[in-house]
A and B are shown apart, each in its own frame.
Chain A
Amino acid sequence: MSAMLLKKEKWPEFVEKLAGKNIWAPQAEGDAMRFAPVAEGEAPALDYNNTRVPPKGALFPQTETMFKFQPEGAQVDEPQLEQETVVLGLRPCDARAMAIVEKLFKWDIDDPYYTRRRELTTLVGLACNEPGMNCFCPSVGGGPASTEGLDLLMADLGENYLLEAVTKKGEALLTETKDLLDEAGVDAVKEKEKLVGEAEQKIKRTVDTEGVPEGLPGLWEDPLWQKVSASCLGCGTCTYLCPTCHCFDIQDETEGLAARRCRMWDSCMFDEYTMHTSGHNPRPTRRERTRNRISHKYSYYVDKFDVIACVGCGRCTNLCPVNIDIIETIRQVKEAL
């Protein structure tokens, strides 16, 4: 893995070098930050904690055309995805989430949209120097400078960014921008490691997941589900803002002669999500839906793909309107085991 240095003053030039690609970076949207395509000639500064909405939309758009068709017809027209994309400055937890979700999208039958977008996308991460107050990534297998899912990792060293390639795609990006980079010395790498160590120390919240994946199915009828879901409004925020939530709905839209089948983010916290046409609903209340959400992340996913489908980003806790805290939920699960 080659390590390079980029002076911060050269950041706009670095972004400019990537012209022609679709560039995503965190940008201000109201009082929050959000990943969005960067306008030509702009180079948003990477001084942010994390975005409210995760960057999962770069690979899994909130609404995505699956194919177009003529109303009343029987021929479909598949989109050709060819635009190369670079996501700049995503946090290691969000990149890890993409690697976790990819396991499902590639499980047995490839999801062509996700797979193709991932092929076309270079993920450039930014290590966390200042974790958020509800971050707990080390408890679920991540860390402030985790490289899982990333093609390239950047670290903010004050005057410079340290750039370390993780994959061939990351190497290619370093080659593409080599005029702007300097070889990083041992000191720079040591400095980064020091900052990572400090960041880890700043993460105060933890969850103990030992025994949770195996134990959750046994807590099916436990009163804890009533307790942890009692204040839930069923708004779905926890799932929309979750970087590992990947559930989607499929709908046909027709307007005049333009018609498409599209998929859009959906949420297991909504009652219609599982409702049968007959009106029967296997998950009729928020108790069952909460139980499914937690069991899916902390048990079913582990069973199938050997990894917890939670990266400890803290968004569901930060943004739940009634302060439901996933760390507290897992603590109660643990207690009930």
Chain B
Amino acid sequence: MITHANPYIPYPATIEETWYETGGERCIKTFKVVFDDKDVLEEWSHLPGQCAMIGVLGVGESMISISCSPTEGKFLRFSVMRMGKVTQALHQLEAGDKMMVRGPYGNNFPIDEWQGKKILTIGGGIGQAPLRPIVEYVKANQDKYEGLTMIYGARTSNDLCFKGEFEEMSKCDDLSCHLTIDVEEEDWAHNVGFVPQMLLDLDPSPENTIAITCGPPIMIRFVLENLKKLGFEDDQIYTTLENRMKCGIGKCGRCNAGGMYVCKDGPVFNYAVLKEIPEAFA
């Protein structure tokens, strides 16, 4: 976190680029932003899995996953679904506008501990946003990992985020990308079916593998079940939680799942820990 005396103070960041990942009422827009203040830009560092509070003064702020890896450069990316007051205000911003950012918050995927292992990410919908930094991190450090398999699904092809990035991935030997949508579409060259089923069909070996899943709660539940069927141990599985948040630093109280503050003790949880938290999947 920025070592400013007051952790509640957000910093202006200029939006360099925006684009829509998906359309519709709950469309997802991605923002690439750079801090205005050179010192903040220099001091900022984050790891895959961490979040930031982003917002608009006068409207408020929301906790959003940082959807880029630090290996990509000195900028931040956020992919934001238009849902409530703050995200609607954010969606009105275009390149050249400013948003306010503070963070980074929460723990991170222990990505360096995973060196020498195979990485399996299983994402659904906007749940790919916190997984994307893992993919990018491994891509930038391919010699340190035993390859990455990505399973990603959404309701329709229009609901898939980061579509432009998958083709390049499939060109790398150590990376494989498996896409799926819920129902058949014309010109769809990939799998049709739910994410948990695709996981079973691919039948990845649990040997020396870390599995990370993120997506709608119902998907996570069946993915966890199927990972167990495939022989994964609890401590080989990671996921992230989300809850309503205000402060981001474990003070305001509301994001707790059992005795864990999602903003501070999470959002990343190992399944061996998570399954002992009674409220984790509430």
Contacts and interface: CB of A to CB of B under 8 A. Distances in A.
| B is bound to A | yes
A322 interface: no
A104 B60 CA distance: 24
B253 A248 contact: yes
B106 to A, nearest CB: 12
A277 B60 contact: no
Interface in B152-193: none
Contacts of B254: 247, 266, 268, 273-274
B225 interface: no
Q: Which of A67, A282, A283, A292 has the most CB of B within 10 A?
A: A282
B250 A109 contact: yes
Interface string B9-45: 1101000000000000000000000001000000000
Nearest to A253: B58
Contact of A109 (B1, B58, B61, B256): B1
Contacts of A266: 252-254
A173 to B, nearest CB: 28
A267 B256 CA distance: 13
Contacts of A109: 1, 7, 249-250
A259 B243 CA distance: 27
B231 interface: no
Nearest to A239: B253
A66 B8 contact: yes
A299 B6 CA distance: 30
A78 interface: yes
Contacts of B36: 74
A71 interface: yes
Contacts of A259: 57-58
Given A73-B57, A108-B264, A250 B259 contact: no
Contacts of A75: 12
Contacts of B1: 109
Interface string A275-288: 11110001100001
Given A67-B8, A274-B243, A296 B282 contact: no
B100 interface: yes
Main secondary structure, interface of B, reads loop
Contacts of A273: 244, 254
Given A108-B250, A112-B8, A282-B282, A252 B256 contact: no
Given A217-B278, A248-B246, A277-B84, A282 B257 contact: yes
Please tell me the size bucket of the interface on A: 35 or more
B50 interface: no
B257 to A, nearest CB: 7
Contacts of B257: 282
B57 A261 contact: yes
A277 B9 contact: no
A111 B84 CA distance: 27
A254 interface: yes
B59 interface: yes
Contacts of A276: 242-244
B98 interface: yes
Interface string A291-335: 010011001100110000000000000000000000000000000
B204 to A, nearest CB: 30
Contacts of A108: 249-250, 264
A246 B254 CA distance: 11
B83 interface: yes
A159 interface: no
Nearest to B8: A66
Contacts of A48: none
A111 B10 contact: no
A300 B8 CA distance: 25
B213 interface: no
Nearest to A77: B9
B259 A304 contact: yes
Nearest to A68: B57
B57 to A, nearest CB: 5
Given A248-B252, A249-B252, A112 B243 contact: no
A150 to B, nearest CB: 23
B250 A74 contact: no
B247 to A, nearest CB: 7
A74 B100 CA distance: 7
B58 A69 contact: yes
B58 A111 contact: no
Contact of A250 (B7, B98, B246): B246
Contact of A288 (B12, B58, B98, B282): B282
A278 B244 CA distance: 10
A303 B252 contact: no
B258 interface: yes
B128 interface: no
Given A108-B250, A109-B249, 19 more contacts: A67-B8, A67-B9, A73-B57, A74-B98, A76-B57, A108-B249, A111-B249, A250-B60, A250-B61, A250-B246, A252-B59, A259-B58, A261-B8, A263-B246, A268-B253, A276-B243, A292-B256, A295-B259, A300-B256
15 contacts: A69-B57, A74-B98, A75-B12, A78-B6, A109-B1, A217-B259, A246-B253, A247-B253, A247-B254, A252-B57, A273-B254, A274-B244, A282-B257, A282-B282, A299-B259
The 5 closest A-B pairs by CB, nearest first: A247-B253, A300-B259, A74-B12, A277-B84, A282-B282
